[in-house]
Structure 1
């Protein structure tokens, strides 16, 4: 495009006016020179691109088009071209004045900013499609014949063309020493800030590299030449703009400057950039003293509200020393606005002042508590609490939260969600066990109580939980199944099955007093049903006190008999009923439950074995013992118990054919005939009869047995075989009992089977004495001293004192027949010998009696006497040699000392 050759902007007239002023007032030239130098070396020394970009933005706004700015270096010139309103006469006049501006109503009020070009050029030109002007230090020097002159006071027409696509271009021939590459690098470094600060510009080019500005709603995007895009979230303010870089979230600034709209020297530490039209010093570097910018802070919370809730806290100014006086003023103003305006996320947006901040980090927890804790911020954690304290928010610790939750009514599932949120905090040690010790717990009965300790985590069907709730067991705390959670177990709740619940002290106490409660009119049926449900799953012992309905009212379970129990056929009817030891379970109630559940709580279906034996044996009717014994024999447990104390009790107290079992013997126990009568046929086999106490053999277990046996031995109506008499007395003598607890018998059984008064009898303690004592008064058995003590009868040796005749003394080896026997039986000869008598007569109490042998002075080592006969010598030799048991064999060999005697 060709420009007119004339002077379209009247530069000649402008030059003439300036020259006249300088001529009229020589000091004016000096003032202009000094002022321009101050601008060049001071206020505008590094604001070249800022001021040119500002002019370009103003031009674009004036033209109502998106502005483009291009920076390049051509032929040693820095060229800055832009689109927008072209240069006009007013603009030229402004460029030629150090004190005037043509930018009325636009951002930036001082045209003197063009002086920034002097930092790099003394021969600037401004070309536009409407014409151009040039400034020249050399031509001005020539015009005024001075060495020191201002550059930007005398404009000359410039007729160069503007690059295609642009409306204006500033061309700056570079001073010596100015680095073109460095200038371009500066332009690139400032491109993004300039596009952000100057919304009139949308495109910034530097030697073919392009930065592009676009805006969507409140977000400004600036695309760099390398394809990266930086976004800024913005919020308009009166005469200003707040902006913060954003990526996935905000990227808060830490060290920035006030932009007015281009950078100033006012350092700021706010997280967001402030771009504002504020009164500035002529240097454009400092805000005029006394300027109050606090009003701009009122728009700051609106910027923060545009961010996602989780990012908003990052926009609170960090604590620290202000970077400038203005920074301190703005920080205080921003914090006041954040404290007073709603911007914090919660159930609704909250102002900082009075907001509550959970000081442990848990989005899940704050989400649950938003409608419960007034003014609760949905952001949480110690760092959030610390930051928000600067805007007067109050921290909320977990211990205080637990207090707030106490008494709160919420569905059990809500509490489960709360525990879900708290458990990770406990595991991470963000909260302590003490903090959560009083945490509310919803129970299955609808209550919510503080603290999990002592509660049961019991998973059960709803109907069982309803039963337990209806039972109203004081102290039984069952966590609602919808709220059951591992956190509660960590805090002291106990995982429980039915058995654990049945062992709970509170339930046991309720069971123990249930009969009393039932009799007083309380409804104990739910408790009974609940316990029976529990034992159906997992039987335990010790529930016999449970109140159950009987035909006669509420009774302990262990005092009841099933209506179908066979025990009803064997118990005495008087034992069953209101005044009896037992009663019968209510029929209808019994039909509601399986027999196993009822017997598990103690209801009787059959005989029961306890630690002490089989219970309720004393309730059996006398005529029902055969049937009762069949029941006892039919169960393994009771069958085994019959071999203990219960069997002994039955033996003495049961009734078989009118007598106690121990008074009978088994029919096949012929060895007891005479002492005991055979038991009649009562329909029981030998094994059952034996366990019931019917005698199969001779046995003495205790003093009662001993007394009974002595009575039978002393009964003259009984005919007892001699062998049984001996075995009976031997059994009595062998048992270790305290005979002082037993009265001695009045009558005893003699060896000949007769019965004699005990005071007339004697116990044979030395065998040779039997020859001189009547058999009808002699009692004999092993352990004679023990038997004598038992019977309170003297031993015979205490009663007999004898005189013996003289005889011939021979050593045992001198007796040929004895020697042969000793050799045959391999019996060593005892010491001494024997006094042999042709006929041995013993004088006892003046009466002479014949005896086959005798030992004078008793024992084995007394003087042995024997009649000269096989019987006498055999007894003497057998006693002396200690082979008394072989006396009959020795007798036979002495009678016939032939080896065949041993074999035949």
Structure 2
């Protein structure tokens, strides 16, 4: 090794001379190096050194090896292959040019070597042919500059005589003394993370070792390699750029017009967050679920693609090569490698993904149900994920893809490719009119059965599947068809039987029924519904009636199980024929409470003698009132009397309807007996006990001595005495159940208007407390005032009945001293006065009695009223702010008439009180909001002694 084998002295002299003659060149070189170190080549140390090693291996024509070690704080990167040359050293010192002139995959010690400056200021390269060093300190000494540091990599130096030789087995080693701030072990850990990708991206590198972790690439044929036990599928393509495209490239790039691309998939798994490799990683993010290594032109930083005709040409070639990669994946996994939808991750991704999708649409790679792979553009995927189904219909429909591709996991990919999807509705339509043997249809049903178990929409569409019948017909849909082995079934008129060779459990799920007694009854539903019309037309329906009742008996049906059986026409005692649910068993107690014009009639006793009461009840014949029970009703459509009115009382639809039918058919004078009848049967008693339609209707329309139940009160409801009369002749529990009042409860405008009418009735004599409670209930009633007709007369505070025009609602206790009690309407709580006034359209007394204080008084804070203070302390009450104006006496003028009053509250909120215990107590209680405490306070103000409080 000579002292300067690569002529570094001449290189330094040339650079220094250029800096001396051109300070601008000095700044440009320094700026360029800093940009490369801090910008384009930051964090790319191993990438750049590995690509140089790959070039060296390519030049030598052998698979290269790279080894990274940490020796006494110095990172050493050794490689095999072509050693360092003078041309390479010149390229290193140029900052702008690469030594690559021979079609290698990457630059050989070009601008990328600036990546070492991220970890060192003193890089060295030792090779079998010599070595070279760079030094920030020596560069500063050689050309001191007051403005900035000179470029380190522009001034190469020969190695010292004491430099260790290249390690055995290697040809070149880059030695990088690490900055003190660099954590060597952590740096090695980061370098290890790049190893696998570099071995895949740089085919001339056969192995990379970081410390003791040596990773080798094992080639397994043209399209598969193994790295660290991980299997990669590959598809490579190469070619030469057209001359007109080459002409758009830079001078150096024109020396190599060849292009190559390599697609790679790790372990047959999609890549979820990839970037473009060119051949080292760029910052062009890709959404393509495979790794792409392509010889696209890149910007000097090697982080972005240099857009232009050359890049477009290579990316187009890469897109064209992509389908062949997918074809190497196991068939049903291929759709995982269709680019997913979403926003592109880069401009390159946008262009590449569009072209990849176009190539995938036109290439034959999609697995077929039968035969060779299909082009997605001509394929049809059945939504039903069933290989057996797809194979079965492949001879009926062309281009059917593999059945498993109908699974949801493939839907997104197939949609991106525009593959035609055949949902169950389309499939059923395509099969309509197909002529196949019954056994073929059974195979079809077997293939569809798993889908019907999990997909309600598909199952719904299957309801129109063709079904071969035993009589040779093929009917659209199995609903209404019967599956049975008994030949007797065929004797039942209107029954449709499935061909035995086509029978499959799916048909039952889609509406076909096994032919037991219940199923046979269902088959007769239309004739039952038509029976009334048939009777009027002269048709003999007795065979149908006998058949239905026999099947009902065999099935053990009970009343209400099949409500539609109520349409069966049966003979009445009169000789006419009526619906079964409009007939009553002979001698049933219900007959005694029905009105004479009731549409319900008595069943013919002769006919009834032929069947059990249970069988007759099962077809709807009544032995007592029928009960209707519906969960989550959707509307008032159950043919119940006044059902719409009841429904309108709900803000939300009721969650359950439990109703006794035909209550409106009871005779007016038969209600006590009817109610006892309802209470005697567990079925109707349950409806009586559950609040709902039945109790609502009975409370309003049942009659007890000519009045509905809610017009009466229970005998022990003494609070309602004088307003409601006590009911007689009914058990208390039954009376309560049918709506007889136990308390004052107002639920609607009718209740409000009824109570107002009772209060205004001079023949009623409610107690004073009952009147106050009634007025309070009216104020709190959950009705809008506009829904209530204001009364003409009102019950007053004096207990009298007066014209409403002469009344006002008492809204303050001080007003009692000047108002006439037979002109006041009062509530228990003054805060409810406004609500009552609005409800009955009356003014407030405070608005009707404008008063003026006409006496002198003195303002005295509460705290200065000693007796009040002592009383408040004993009563545990806080003193309110401020105080009253105390008069002796207090006089107010109302309508030019003077009144001496105990206390008064003016419209502006000023409190006036007479100088008496009663007045002070009332004013204090009102101010504190504890009005009921006024009497206690009066006693304590009079005698503020604990014994008074306790006694």
TM-score of the aligned structures, taking structure 1 as reference length: 0.49
State which structure, 1 or 2, has the greater radius of gyration over its C-alpha atoms. Answer: 1
TM-score of the aligned structures, taking structure 2 as reference length: 0.47
